[in-house]
Chain A
Amino acid sequence: MKYLIRRLADSLLLLAALSVVSFVFAQLAPGDYFSELGTDPRFSTETVAALRAQAGLDRPLPVRYAKWVRSCIRGDLGYSLAYNSPVAPLLWQRIPATLLLTATATFLAWLLAVPIGIWNATVRGTWGDRVSQLIWAVLLTIPELVLAIVLLVLAAESGWFPAGGMRSAGFSAMDRWAQARDLAWHLALPAAVLVLGMLPVLVRHVRASMLDAIDSPFALSARAHGIPRGRLLFRHLLPAAMNPLVSLLGFSLGTLLSASLLVEVVMGWPGLGPLFLEAVAARDFALVLAVVMFSATFLVAANLAADLLLYRLDPRIRTE
């Protein structure tokens, strides 16, 4: 409990520090949302300066930071200059799509990775193991970007899957069941890219971690006691091998979010990725900051959850 409170306080402090650093960095960086206008001859320097003043960009840094914090407390999360609206509604529109995509991909990838990794560990040294190691190594090196582009082309050519997007036209007119089917149909490709990108990493980790468990003395003694193979693998060895895998679950979300950003941009999935990219290109600081803070919070929360899960699962940690 004490541990939990300390971790929570640490995380909050970290996020607060991140927001301050972002503000300072944006201050130091040359240019802001209006600097593009400054190069346009139709806008005089005075107009640009007036616009800047109207948006409050001429205020000193602490004042703007205080304003941002107040806006966060109100639930607005800042004011987007490009969209001319508070950030929060923009963000809430996009977050479900990203969460749906990443959650599906994570779930499927782990569902596949654990049995495959265990199988790979049990056949260590055989030809099957060597071939599958090679396959995983090759798959590991195919960038998600290339994978996404190729799958998109195949989908468009074959017509089996939609070429991007999240919903078909007339989505709102469908009944519940058809809506779910349509969503799953659109979800298949982007999720497949993410799963294929994650799978080799996960399988290699599951394999390595299971190998450690298989080689440990307690596994030998369990086998000597005549415990059946299936029970040995899943009841005795898997829980012992779980420890690094649970931390990996937390860690891998960072990589997953990055991959998801790319996939969303390439495949036109209306998640945070395209919104973030536009905000970066337009230098819409409030929006960039909001997405940055969201992804950081997400990551911190995931790592915290993984650590707590570890605490529940592994008695070795609890005794420390």
Chain B
Amino acid sequence: MRIAATLENRPAAMLALVFLAMLHGAVVLAGFLAPYPFAEQHRESPFAPPTRIHFFDAAGHFHPRPLVYGPEGSQTYPIELFVHGRLFGVQEPGVLFLLGSDGFGRDVFSRLLYGGQVSLLTGLAAAFLSLGLGWVLGTAAGFYGGWLDRLLMRSGELFLVLPWLYLLLAVRGFLPLHITALQAFLLLIVVIGAIGWVRPARLVRGVVLSGKERPFVLAAQGFGATDAYLMRRHILPLTAGVILTQATVLIPQYILAEVTLSFLGLGVGEPVPSWGNMLSEARQYYTLVSHPWMLTPGLAAIPVLLAYLVLADALLPDQRYRYP
């Protein structure tokens, strides 16, 4: 409840929340909102620039329904709603590339939406996994203490002693490379999520350690409450705040991790798009010089990260407790 109140007083945070909700909605509905399937190739128009949308045709007539010019130049195609089971599109052979096309003539806008499914979902799922692991292990370490605490915290140090990208690459590198896109996607979630449990676990442990000495917890214990009851009723609510703020920190980090891994060729492979593997096409600088729209998957990540940053700032004004 405190959290809801925090957000209400912060218009920027509300805005960020709404933006994220809309973006996730758009990405989930990619199959409907995107004009083309992600793998559909238009070999006749590779690296096509963003399609110009006209309200006036060459003769100067106004069209209330916007139109685009076809590949042969003179023929016009109106943008139609609800075609081929999608929200909008144009009839063949006209093409509608809102953000241009890539080297295979695939629509970058459509791939951006579908790629968002991979990138954003990886961030969410991996953060969920990390927080779940961190919460369970952190609570166990803090609540039971003793050898379990020492074991968990010392083994946690092993994860912190490496720079995160080195750790990520080393772990990913020893897992199979030639796998289907779905397997790669699941593998990414597990790898990114599993190696990130230490920070949330340490924070949760701290909260639990101080929480179990609180008078009302001691009182409940004195009345003979079981460990399970104590954890569910008293300890879990105490840790909720930490978990939530950690989520706003971890999710963007993990989205970036997916983008980075896919960019380096260790993530989801072609033809399934993710923001990372789309960006790797823009890696040759001559590609980007003449086709600047190929950078859009990289730019798409920026507002997402900014929104999460605003949320994190609202939930935890002092950023010193967040870094690294």
Which residues of A are in contact with B by a Cβ distance under 8 Å? Answer: 14-15, 17-18, 21-22, 25-26, 29-31, 137-138, 140-143, 145-146, 149-150, 152-153, 156-157, 163, 201, 204-205, 208-209, 244, 248, 251-259, 261-262, 265-266, 276-277, 279-281, 283, 285, 288, 291-292, 295-296, 299-300
Given contacts A17-B158, A149-B283, contact A205 B319 (CB under 8 A): yes
Q: Which residues of B contact A209 (CB under 8 A)?
A: 320
Chain B 174-198 interface 0/1 with A at a Cβ cutoff of 8 Å (1 = within): 1111000000000000000000000
A268 to chain B, nearest CB (A): 11
**Among the listed A26, A152, A163, A258, which residue makes an inter-chain contact with B164, where contact means beta carbons less than 8 Å apart?**
A258
B309 pairs with A137, CB closer than 8 A: yes
Q: Which residues of B contact A156 (CB under 8 A)?
A: 285-286, 289
A266 pairs with B259, CB closer than 8 A: no
B323 pairs with A29, CB closer than 8 A: no
In the assembled complex, the Cα of A26 lies from the Cα of B175 at a distance in Å of 9
Q: Taking CB as reference atom, which chain B residue is nearest A26?
A: B174
Q: Taking CB as reference atom, which chain A residue is nearest B257?
A: A258
- In order of increasing CB-CB distance, the 9 nearest A-B pairs are A280-B173, A258-B165, A29-B174, A146-B298, A141-B305, A257-B163, A254-B163, A141-B306, A258-B163
B167 to chain A, nearest CB (A): 8
**Among the listed B172, B176, B289, which residue makes an inter-chain contact with A31, where contact means beta carbons less than 8 Å apart?**
B176
State whether the Cβ of B161 lies closer than 8 Å to any Cβ in chain A: yes
**Among the listed A141, A152, A201, A283, which residue makes an inter-chain contact with B323, where contact means beta carbons less than 8 Å apart?**
A201
A255 pairs with B324, CB closer than 8 A: yes
Chain B 311-324 interface 0/1 with A at a Cβ cutoff of 8 Å (1 = within): 00100001110011
B163 pairs with A205, CB closer than 8 A: no
Given contacts A29-B175, A257-B166, A277-B264, contact A204 B319 (CB under 8 A): yes
In the assembled complex, the Cα of A288 lies from the Cα of B168 at a distance in Å of 12
Given contacts A153-B288, A280-B170, A283-B174, contact A208 B320 (CB under 8 A): yes
Q: Taking CB as reference atom, which chain A residue is nearest B306?
A: A141
A146 pairs with B295, CB closer than 8 A: yes
Q: Taking CB as reference atom, which chain B residue is nearest A298?
A: B163
Contact residues, B45-65 vs A (CB, 8 A): none
Given contacts A150-B295, A257-B166, contact A252 B320 (CB under 8 A): no
State whether the Cβ of B27 lies closer than 8 Å to any Cβ in chain A: no
A300 pairs with B285, CB closer than 8 A: no
Interface size class of B (residues with CB under 8 A): 35 or more
Given contacts A141-B302, A277-B169, contact A149 B282 (CB under 8 A): yes
In the assembled complex, the Cα of A145 lies from the Cα of B252 at a distance in Å of 14
A25 pairs with B174, CB closer than 8 A: yes
What would be 7 A-B contacts, judged by CB atoms less than 8 Å apart?
Answer: A18-B158, A18-B162, A31-B176, A145-B298, A248-B323, A261-B169, A299-B161
**Among the listed B158, B169, B295, B324, which residue makes an inter-chain contact with A149, where contact means beta carbons less than 8 Å apart?**
B295
B155 to chain A, nearest CB (A): 8
Which of B263, B318, B324 counts the most A-chain CB atoms under 10 A from its CB? B324
In the assembled complex, the Cα of A123 lies from the Cα of B320 at a distance in Å of 20
Q: Taking CB as reference atom, which chain B residue is nearest A265?
A: B264
In the assembled complex, the Cα of A26 lies from the Cα of B96 at a distance in Å of 48
Contact residues, B8-51 vs A (CB, 8 A): none
Q: Which residues of A contact B264 (CB under 8 A)?
A: 265, 277
A78 to chain B, nearest CB (A): 14
State whether the Cβ of B299 lies closer than 8 Å to any Cβ in chain A: yes
Q: Which residues of B contact A146 (CB under 8 A)?
A: 279, 295, 298-299, 301-302
New A-B pairs, 8, CB < 8 Å, besides A30-B176, A137-B313, A288-B174: A145-B260, A156-B286, A204-B319, A265-B264, A277-B169, A281-B265, A291-B166, A295-B166
A292 pairs with B170, CB closer than 8 A: yes
Q: Which residues of A contact B129 (CB under 8 A)?
A: none
Q: Taking CB as reference atom, which chain B residue is nearest A15?
A: B161
Contact residues, B247-273 vs A (CB, 8 A): 252, 256, 259-260, 263-266
B313 to chain A, nearest CB (A): 8
**Among the listed B166, B174, B323, which residue makes an inter-chain contact with A251, where contact means beta carbons less than 8 Å apart?**
B323
In the assembled complex, the Cα of A266 lies from the Cα of B285 at a distance in Å of 10
A280 pairs with B259, CB closer than 8 A: no
A145 pairs with B259, CB closer than 8 A: yes
A14 pairs with B157, CB closer than 8 A: yes
In the assembled complex, the Cα of A291 lies from the Cα of B161 at a distance in Å of 13
**Among the listed A14, A145, A261, which residue makes an inter-chain contact with B161, where contact means beta carbons less than 8 Å apart?**
A14
Q: Which residues of A contact B158 (CB under 8 A)?
A: 14, 17-18, 21
A276 pairs with B169, CB closer than 8 A: yes
B173 pairs with A143, CB closer than 8 A: no
B1 to chain A, nearest CB (A): 27
Q: Taking CB as reference atom, which chain B residue is nearest A256?
A: B163
B166 pairs with A261, CB closer than 8 A: yes
Q: Which residues of B contact A208 (CB under 8 A)?
A: 318-320
**Among the listed A29, A153, A248, A262, which residue makes an inter-chain contact with B165, where contact means beta carbons less than 8 Å apart?**
A262
Contact residues, B273-296 vs A (CB, 8 A): 279, 282-283, 285-286, 288-289, 295
A171 to chain B, nearest CB (A): 22
B164 to chain A, nearest CB (A): 5
Q: Which residues of A contact B299 (CB under 8 A)?
A: 146
**Among the listed B161, B163, B260, B279, which residue makes an inter-chain contact with A18, where contact means beta carbons less than 8 Å apart?**
B161
Q: Which residues of B contact A142 (CB under 8 A)?
A: 302
**Among the listed A17, A149, A265, which residue makes an inter-chain contact with B298, where contact means beta carbons less than 8 Å apart?**
A149
Q: Which residues of A contact B170 (CB under 8 A)?
A: 22, 280, 288, 292
B282 pairs with A143, CB closer than 8 A: no
